[in-house]
Amino acid sequence: MNTHTITAQSSPNIAFIKYWGNRDNTMRLPANGSISMNLDGLFTRTSVTFNASAQTDSLLINNKPVTGPGLTRVSYILDLVREMAKINERAEVKSENNFPAGAGIASSASAFAALALSASKAAGLNLSEPELSVLARRGSGSASRSIPAGFVEWQMGSNEKDCFAFSIAPVDHWNLVDCIAVVSAAHKKTGSTEGHALAGTSPLQNARVEDAPRRLEICRNAILKKDFEAFAAIIEHDSDIMHSVMMTSNPPLMYWQAATVGIFHEVRAWRAGGLPVGYTVDAGANVHVLCLGEKAKEVEKRLRELPGVENVLVAGVGDAAKIVS
Ligand code: DP6
């Protein structure tokens, strides 16, 4: 095959209805469906070159060589691509993020979405959007949602092939903005992969999963109808339910910091005072505060004044994963 380099770019996403726990950990078949929006302006850019003279796969993240479990996880996706494309060459992978990794802004989502797209193209494959979403999912569940554009739903599916994400509304459908209050940019203690495996140890997880279709429907409708009040209520509810499962698993996972809880109280007070806002938190301490575009400056300003807030990242609705060169 011809050796050439393909570079793809993908945005992380913020889940409004969360993925937490798998029915199959190896295949990353989730216990429930989830809904998210891609985050514009934040991205991972990944280049893949299959090279007949390379002895092993190699990985550079932000110009630093990565070996061990990080490389193994990337090689796992490269193996799937090699199998599909019927090639044997090892690959050189170079990846760069423009946002801090491991701090509740899911870097694995944009990383594996960009890898799935660049590696499959570099291997000469032309995968469909659902096929790319499935491939990205094998690297990181939430990465399945960073393949399609805008507002995205990841359906549970009934098997490995129909477990993919699709767009439920395009980028320009609704001018939502995510103001991410960075509380701690330090690397999180328990990664999502280990966390998913613990979900079933919480007595609350079954109730969370059983009730998921109801929450998905409310959230999907709120997005489609651009009903911010219903949207804010359901995202806070869903985030609080997921964190209840995390806190009651064995061993328990407590991702919140004091500042995290402080922001919850502020957000609720702001809403009561007439500013439309709602919060959600992934597997970290940072608080994602959602609002409409015209309120983003005000929300950012208020968040910056709060104790424990180190930085605020502001992101609108992001596009699909795409090839950049
Ligand atoms: C809390 O997709 O990071 O952000 O599949 O093990 O890579 P792996 O997990 P990951 O889990 C994301 C968990 C979450 C909620 C969500 O994004 O839906």
* Number of compact structural domains in the chain: 2
Look at residues 146, 172, 198 and tell me which one is the last residue of a structural domain. Answer: 172
Which residue among 14, 154, 187, 196 is best mutated to probe the pocket of ligand 1, counting the most ligand atoms within 8 A of its Cβ? 196
Quote the domain boundaries for residue 136: 5-172
Look at residues 172, 202, 222 and tell me which one is the last residue of a structural domain. Answer: 172
| Same domain membership, residue 246 and residue 106 | no
222 CA → ligand 1 middle, Å: 23
| Same domain membership, residue 195 and residue 168 | no
| Same domain membership, residue 252 and residue 186 | yes
pLDDT digits (tens, 9 = 90+) for 190-226: 889 999 999 999 999 999 999 999 999 999 999 999 9
87 CA → ligand 1 middle, Å: 30
| Same domain membership, residue 200 and residue 147 | no
Nearest to 180 by CA among 260, 95, 255: 260
| Same domain membership, residue 291 and residue 197 | yes
| Same domain membership, residue 146 and residue 286 | no
In CATH, what number is assigned to the domain containing residue 290?
3.30.70.890
d(CA 214, CA 220): 10
Is there a domain that residue 131 lies in? yes
- According to DSSP, residue 317 is labeled B
Q: Which residue has the tokens 């005072």?
A: 273
**Cβ atoms of 121 and 6 closer than 8 Å:** yes
| Same domain membership, residue 194 and residue 151 | no
- According to DSSP, residue 126 is labeled -
Which residue among 26, 205, 282, 287 is best mutated to probe the pocket of ligand 1, counting the most ligand atoms within 8 A of its Cβ? 282
| Same domain membership, residue 128 and residue 250 | no
Is there a domain that residue 324 lies in? no
- What values do phi and psi take at 262, rounded to 5? -55, -40
- Ligand 1 atom nearest 196 alpha carbon: 6
- Among 103-112, 133-142, 177-186, name the one with the lowest average pLDDT: 103-112
In CATH, what number is assigned to the domain containing residue 107?
3.30.230.10
3 CA → ligand 1 middle, Å: 33
193 CA → ligand 1 middle, Å: 7
For residue 155, what pLDDT is reported?
A: 98
| Same domain membership, residue 203 and residue 126 | no
Nearest to 323 by CA among 112, 40, 82, 45: 45
Whether 1 shows a pLDDT value over 60: the answer reads no
For residue 194, what pLDDT is reported?
A: 92
The token pair that represents 4 in the structure block: 């050439």
**Cβ atoms of 139 and 95 closer than 8 Å:** no
Atom 12 of ligand 1 has which residue's CA nearest to it?
142
| Same domain membership, residue 197 and residue 154 | no
Is there a domain that residue 73 lies in? yes
Is there a domain that residue 31 lies in? yes
pLDDT digits (tens, 9 = 90+) for 251-297: 999 999 999 999 999 999 999 999 999 999 999 999 999 999 999 99
Is there a domain that residue 323 lies in? no
149 CA → ligand 1 middle, Å: 18
Which residue among 10, 72, 142 is best mutated to probe the pocket of ligand 1, counting the most ligand atoms within 8 A of its Cβ? 142
Is there a domain that residue 321 lies in? no
- What values do phi and psi take at 197, rounded to 5? -65, -20
Ligand 1 binding site (Cβ under 6 Å of any ligand atom)? 15, 18-20, 28, 34, 106, 108, 140-142, 192-193, 196, 282-283
Q: Which residue has the tokens 């500013």?
A: 275
| Same domain membership, residue 62 and residue 149 | yes
Q: Is 51 helix (H, G, I), strand (E, B) or coil?
A: strand
pLDDT digits (tens, 9 = 90+) for 184-194: 756 657 889 99
Look at residues 106, 141, 172 and tell me which one is the last residue of a structural domain. Answer: 172
Is there a domain that residue 320 lies in? no
| Same domain membership, residue 251 and residue 214 | yes
